[in-house]
Structure 1
Amino acid sequence: MRLMQVCAAVAVLWAGSAAAIGPDSYDDIPYFGASYLYELPDSDRDSDNGQGFQLHFGLPLQEQGLPRLTPELTVHSLARKRDVDGKKDYQTAVNLDLIYDLGSLGEGYKFKPYLVGGLGVVQNDVRGNKHERLGVDFGAGLMLPLAPWLDWHGLAARVEARALVSINDDSTENAYPIDYRVTAGLQLPLFFLFPEHHPVVPAAPECELAVVDPDTGRADCSADSDHDSVPDSADQCPGTVQGMAVDSRGCPSAPAAAEAPLLSVQFQENSSQLDAEATKRLDSVASTLQAQANLSLQIIGNADSQGDKSYNLMLSQERADAVRQYLIGKGIDGSRLVTSGRGEFYPVASNASPEGRAENRRVEFKLIVP
């Protein structure tokens, strides 16, 4: 009974930290995992090796500027056969752990090693005598993405090894028994529990005569050529980039535009060359700057986490410079274009998958309004 109360308290504390972060701030989707567990118990336990299961629920902190850290709630339960009579002893534990991602490794197929450690409560049921102890666990593991075969981003196999140290307050017992366990299982992203990560497209308004966008097929009651939600009939600043913050006239909103990121362009791996899709988007940016002579632009280069950090910093700067030169070639005064490279330190997606790394190889824009 006491273990259940402590477990509930740990869960409440963990949930409270999750609520403080807020569901809208997740970069990676929270996940659930289940694993088979095999244990090598401390020699003082006088029992065979244990078997059972382990469950974990994680909440990535990438969006909070901590791309390598994930708080994780872990529960495990196992049984061991006693040497003296062949009957079983049991162990159940709940831990609040912290995962530290060591980054992706490997050529072609990437796997991800990590370190894990935390605190919790351990209940041992030995010959019907239950007692709870403070526990400290630590270890390491590997995340093996299954998306290349199953085409489901975030699904992964997971193997790990941990040591669990129980802290006994009974002088007749081993003060710090150490149990070792190895687990293997699956980790599943919880997309279906967090629908706020999937934007809802509003229904098209009903009207007598709809205007159909030839590119997207969307039907509206009036034309909106630059997709800023201000109809062309009332838009005093046509040609603004889609996603730019505008006021009721369809013109860039000074306070919001200074902070709001515009569309981005992507790059191939280890490259700062602009492809056809990138130049098409940059042509739209150039049109906006030509129409709004009072605006300047901050051009921010980024990279994925492949390779050396210093090289990625240089590559991100080269990408920003390539974009600046293209815009200058389109007639934009270079004094209105400021560049910076941020390397791999500001990802917008997980670097564990090819799709995520492609999103991180990008140049972003921020408007500078006087």
Structure 2
Amino acid sequence: MTSKASLSVACLALAAAGAASANGPGVGHPYLGANFVYEAGDSDRQSDDGYGFHLSFGVPVLSYEHLDVEFGYSALQRDRDIDGRTDYTRTLHTDFLYRFAHQHFFGAGEPGFSRPVLHPYGLAGLALVEEDSAGDSGYHLGASLGGGALIDVGLPYDTLIRTELRALYQRNDDTVAGDSAILDFRAMVGLQMPIPGFGRAPAPVAPLLPPPACRVAVVDPVTGRSDCDTDSDGDGVFDSRDQCPGTLSGTVIDATGCPVQLTPQVIRGVNFEFDSAILTADSKVILDDTARALKGMNDPNLLIEIGGHTDDRGSVSYNERLSQARAESVRQYLIGRNVSADQLTAKGYGASQPLADNDTEAGRAENRRVEFRIVLR
């Protein structure tokens, strides 16, 4: 891969890391789940607690980053108190599942220990319940309400541990003695795995084919240009489209062959403890995603500058020291996540490059940031 191609990949990887940081591996994709279920049944059932399984298939709602729609099937059984025989409940579920911000826990996020990560969620939905009790069977509408957590402990294929508590309510006066309002509580534990290759495939990129070879070429004696599609300065743009001939080797250029100024990539959500260079737990989750994006880039010509920025409160010298310490803190964290130290450099800019007005709290918050600037050596 050429240096310019590596540069493009690096920019895309950093942008993708920033976008993906709200979710993380195994979350925000279509998935399959399988769970063991324990049920504390309504007292009117006159039976022991139940047990069984729950299978699920979920897809993200494209317009809402943290929302999934999930379809499930559960089957449970329980022994009756009166005669010891078995009752059965089978349920079809349709739920909306909302994922809250993920969190590190049990000390995760410290150097060398990025997991486990907790993804709490809540859910609500409707159900169609089939009861087979005491020889009678019937179908009833129900409603579910509950919550749980997806736990990333580094299992293969981005598989997550899923734990959940939910209440299932139904109106049932046919198959259960007593009150027609039945409220069961279910606890579940199992695994959830994203479906490989499921969803929208990226648009194919047409390869850049070399032009047909010229048998006869007319060369301009003044400029040295030819009517053949050649690349005299080796910048990857053919002379017929190159508006800036003679570009120096290693210069980052646009489609016309002219140098471009790269826009730094701001990774949103990288924050620090007050008045210090200590990363917050949420920041470590985001930087874990960034590290995964950067580890695959092994081009020795790529250098990534981590720039630390502050607002204008405090003295110039203090802000420069603080921003340098914060940039170095990010660099050391990424190195601890196996990103090559040779490709990372840290620089503190203090308050010298504001993005917004420092006279407002919102502006100061935007100016307190970490930027990744990707360059070719």
TM-score by length of 2: 0.51
In the TM superposition, what whole-angstrom CA distance separates every residue of 1:184-241 from its partner, at most 9, and x where no partner exists? 10110112333715x65655647788xxxxxxxxxx99699777xx645313378897
Instruction: Say whether the 8 Å CA contact 1:265–1:278 is kept in structure 2.
Output: no
Matched, 1:54 2:59: no
Partner letter of residue 74 of structure 1?
A: G
Instruction: Say whether the 8 Å CA contact 2:73–2:91 is kept in structure 1.
Output: yes
2:144 to 137, 154, 157: 137
Instruction: Say whether the 8 Å CA contact 1:59–1:71 is kept in structure 2.
Output: yes
Distance 2:234 2:36 in 1: 56
Indicate how the Cα distance of structure 1 residues 322 and 97 shifts in structure 2: closer, same or farther if over 3 A, else same: farther
Indicate how the Cα distance of structure 1 residues 195 and 68 shifts in structure 2: closer, same or farther if over 3 A, else same: closer
1:180 to 170, 181, 185: 185
Indicate how the Cα distance of structure 1 residues 97 and 363 shifts in structure 2: closer, same or farther if over 3 A, else same: farther
Helix, strand or coil at the partner of 1:191: coil
**Which residue number in structure 2 is paired with residue 75 of structure 1?**
73
Distance 1:118 1:234 in 2: 58
Distance 2:172 2:240 in 1: 76
Report deviation, 1:135. Answer: 0.7
| Structure with greater helix share of residues | 1
Indicate how the Cα distance of structure 1 residues 35 and 223 shifts in structure 2: closer, same or farther if over 3 A, else same: farther
Aligned pair count reads 245
Report deviation, 1:145. Answer: 0.4
**Which residue number in structure 2 is paired with residue 168 of structure 1?**
172
In the TM superposition, what whole-angstrom CA distance separates every residue of 1:126-175 from its partner, at most 9, and x where no partner exists? 1342211111111121211032xx464x4210111111001236697522
Report deviation, 1:115. Answer: 1.5
Indicate how the Cα distance of structure 1 residues 57 and 221 shifts in structure 2: closer, same or farther if over 3 A, else same: farther
- Higher gyration radius (CA): 2
Report deviation, 1:279. Answer: 4.2
Indicate how the Cα distance of structure 1 residues 138 and 201 shifts in structure 2: closer, same or farther if over 3 A, else same: same
Distance 1:278 1:76 in 2: 50
Instruction: Say whether the 8 Å CA contact 2:60–2:67 is kept in structure 1.
Output: yes
**Which residue number in structure 2 is paired with residue 291 of structure 1?**
none
Q: How does 1:315-326 map to 2 (within 5 A)?
A: none
Distance 2:232 2:33 in 1: 48
Q: How does 1:270-309 map to 2 (within 5 A)?
A: 270=272, 277-279=303-305
Helix, strand or coil at the partner of 2:197: helix
Indicate how the Cα distance of structure 1 residues 205 and 48 shifts in structure 2: closer, same or farther if over 3 A, else same: same
Distance 2:144 2:211 in 1: 63
Distance 2:139 2:178 in 1: 13
The alignment-based identity, stated in percent, is 31
Instruction: Say whether the 8 Å CA contact 1:266–1:278 is kept in structure 2.
Output: no
In the TM superposition, what whole-angstrom CA distance separates every residue of 1:291-328 from its partner, at most 9, and x where no partner exists? xxxxxxxxxxxxxxxxxxxxxxxxxxxxxx96995699
Indicate how the Cα distance of structure 1 residues 169 and 41 shifts in structure 2: closer, same or farther if over 3 A, else same: closer
Helix, strand or coil at the partner of 2:201: helix
5+ residue gaps, structure 1:
1-26, 210-219, 252-260, 282-320, 329-338, 344-359, 365-370
Indicate how the Cα distance of structure 1 residues 166 and 41 shifts in structure 2: closer, same or farther if over 3 A, else same: same
Instruction: Say whether the 8 Å CA contact 1:206–1:221 is kept in structure 2.
Output: no
**Which residue number in structure 1 is paired with residue 118 of structure 2?**
111
Partner letter of residue 101 of structure 2?
A: G
Instruction: Say whether the 8 Å CA contact 1:225–1:232 is kept in structure 2.
Output: no
**Which residue number in structure 2 is paired with residue 34 of structure 1?**
34
In the TM superposition, what whole-angstrom CA distance separates every residue of 1:237-260 from its partner, at most 9, and x where no partner exists? 788978x8x6xx679xxxxxxxxx
Matched, 1:87 2:85: yes
Distance 1:95 1:50 in 2: 18
Distance 2:79 2:194 in 1: 35
1:121 to 122, 128, 138: 128
Helix, strand or coil at the partner of 1:184: strand
Distance 2:73 2:139 in 1: 15
**Which residue number in structure 1 is paired with residue 5 of structure 2?**
none
Instruction: Say whether the 8 Å CA contact 2:44–2:177 is kept in structure 1.
Output: no
Q: CA RMSD in A?
A: 4.8
Matched, 1:156 2:160: yes
2:243 to 232, 236, 245: 236
Helix, strand or coil at the partner of 1:233: coil
Instruction: Say whether the 8 Å CA contact 2:80–2:86 is kept in structure 1.
Output: yes
